[in-house]
């Protein structure tokens, strides 16, 4: 497939590995030293790969996984640390997130290890999450004086309900695979690693009617996301980028100490 070389070139250092299978494609987040944290370059590469796959008739489904026992342990803290509200308003990541969400074909997230912050938000953009036995899910942004910025709170709310979403977002609680399955966040809980089960699911989806799957996905997304709530969440995230609490939260995270928030 022609898109493979292009996506690897843009990712740089093979941070996104693309493996074309019979009727579907596996996309591996490959920054294991950073537990596959989603920096801008990786997010861009993922968005470009999915955009290319959207127009590729040979691809009927896509699967996202992470290298070396983790899905993605959040966004890149180093990029957020110096980002202001003005930077947030002009952030190209917004268009990359939109491209990922606009992928019209079934998207599977195979989650082993950590899926935190932006990593969990990416998993929540998938149509189906398969959770391995080591999977851990969380939106701990309030620990850093921030909130989810890519629609994660809204998507979690739709899947798990207000009480559970509030519990995870407000306290930063991290939950395990069994809890994610019980709460309706994960569609399947695998016995062992997620990837083998997720690959079998991708194979099944690749044999189903492509137009019907695309129509069904669009209808489901419209049912959950047809509101202004996502724009509100993003605007609130951008407002917090200039706060002293955000600076303190990240400084405390780096120093491995308790943050002392002042509400400014």
Over the stretch 128-183, which tens digit does the pLDDT of each residue have?
999 999 999 999 999 888 989 889 999 999 999 999 999 999 999 999 999 999 99
Backbone phi, psi, residue 139, to 5°: -120, 80
Of the candidates 135, 183, 137, the residue with the CA atom closest to the CA atom of residue 162: 183
- 233 neighbors 149 (Cβ within 8 angstroms): yes
- 145 neighbors 247 (Cβ within 8 angstroms): yes
In order, the DSSP letters of 4-37 are HHHHHHHH-TT-EEEEE-SSEEEEEE--GGGTT-
How many structural domains does the chain have? 1
Instruction: Evaluate whether residue 151 is within a structural domain.
Output: yes
Beta bridge partners of 27: 18, 64
Residue 78 has pLDDT above 90, yes or no: no
Residue whose token pair is 């809890």: 179
SS3 235: helix
- pTM here? 0.88
CA–chain centroid gap for 48, Å, is 15
Of the candidates 75, 87, 168, the residue with the CA atom closest to the CA atom of residue 122: 75
Residue 2 has pLDDT above 50, yes or no: no
Instruction: Evaluate whether residue 149 is within a structural domain.
Output: yes
Q: What is the CATH number of the domain that holds 146?
A: 3.90.226.10
Q: pLDDT band at 197, cuts 50/70/90?
A: very high
Question: What pLDDT, on the 0 to 100 scale, is given for residue 84?
Answer: 66
Instruction: Evaluate whether residue 261 is within a structural domain.
Output: no
DSSP summary character for residue 82: T
Instruction: Evaluate whether residue 235 is within a structural domain.
Output: yes
- 98 neighbors 145 (Cβ within 8 angstroms): no
Instruction: Evaluate whether residue 203 is within a structural domain.
Output: no
Q: By residue range, what is the domain housing residue 80?
A: 3-194+208-255
Question: Which residues are known to be catalytic?
Answer: 75, 118, 121, 141
SS3 185: coil
Residue whose token pair is 């309030």: 142
Instruction: Evaluate whether residue 263 is within a structural domain.
Output: no
Instruction: Evaluate whether residue 260 is within a structural domain.
Output: no
Instruction: Evaluate whether residue 222 is within a structural domain.
Output: yes
Residue whose token pair is 């399947």: 188
Q: What span, in angstroms and rounded, lies between the C-alpha atoms of 230 and 261?
A: 26
More confident call, 227 vs 197? 197
SS3 14: coil
Question: From the CB of residue 212, how many other CB atoms can be counted at a distance below 10 Å?
Answer: 9
Q: What span, in angstroms and rounded, lies between the C-alpha atoms of 28 and 45?
A: 11
């Amino acid at each position: 497939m022609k898109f493979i070389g292009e996506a690897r070139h843009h990712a740089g250092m093979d941070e996104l590995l693309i493996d074309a299978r019979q009727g579907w494609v596996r996309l591996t987040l490959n920054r294991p030293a950073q537990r596959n944290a989603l920096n801008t370059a990786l997010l861009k590469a993922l968005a470009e790969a999915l955009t290319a796959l959207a127009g590729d008739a040979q691809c009927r489904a896509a699967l996202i996984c992470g290298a070396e026992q983790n899905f993605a342990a959040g966004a890149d803290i180093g990029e957020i640390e110096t980002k202001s509200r003005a930077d947030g308003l002009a952030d190209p990541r917004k268009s990359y997130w939109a491209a990922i969400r606009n992928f019209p074909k079934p998207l599977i997230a195979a989650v082993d290890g950590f899926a935190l912050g932006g990593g969990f938000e990416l998993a929540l953009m998938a149509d189906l999450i398969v959770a391995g036995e080591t999977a851990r899910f969380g939106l701990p942004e309030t620990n850093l004086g921030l909130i989810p910025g890519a629609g994660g709170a809204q998507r979690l709310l739709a899947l798990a309900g207000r009480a559970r979403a509030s519990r995870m977002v407000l306290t930063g609680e991290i939950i395990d695979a069994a809890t994610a399955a019980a709460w309706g966040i994960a569609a399947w809980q695998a016995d062992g690693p997620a990837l083998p089960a997720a690959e079998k699911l991708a194979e099944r989806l690749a044999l189903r009617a492509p137009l019907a799957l695309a129509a069904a996905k669009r209808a489901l997304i419209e049912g959950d996301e047809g509101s202004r709530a996502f724009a509100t969440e993003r605007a609130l995230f951008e407002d917090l980028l200039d706060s002293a609490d955000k600076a303190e939260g990240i400084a405390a995270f780096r120093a491995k100490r308790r943050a002392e928030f002042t509400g400014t």
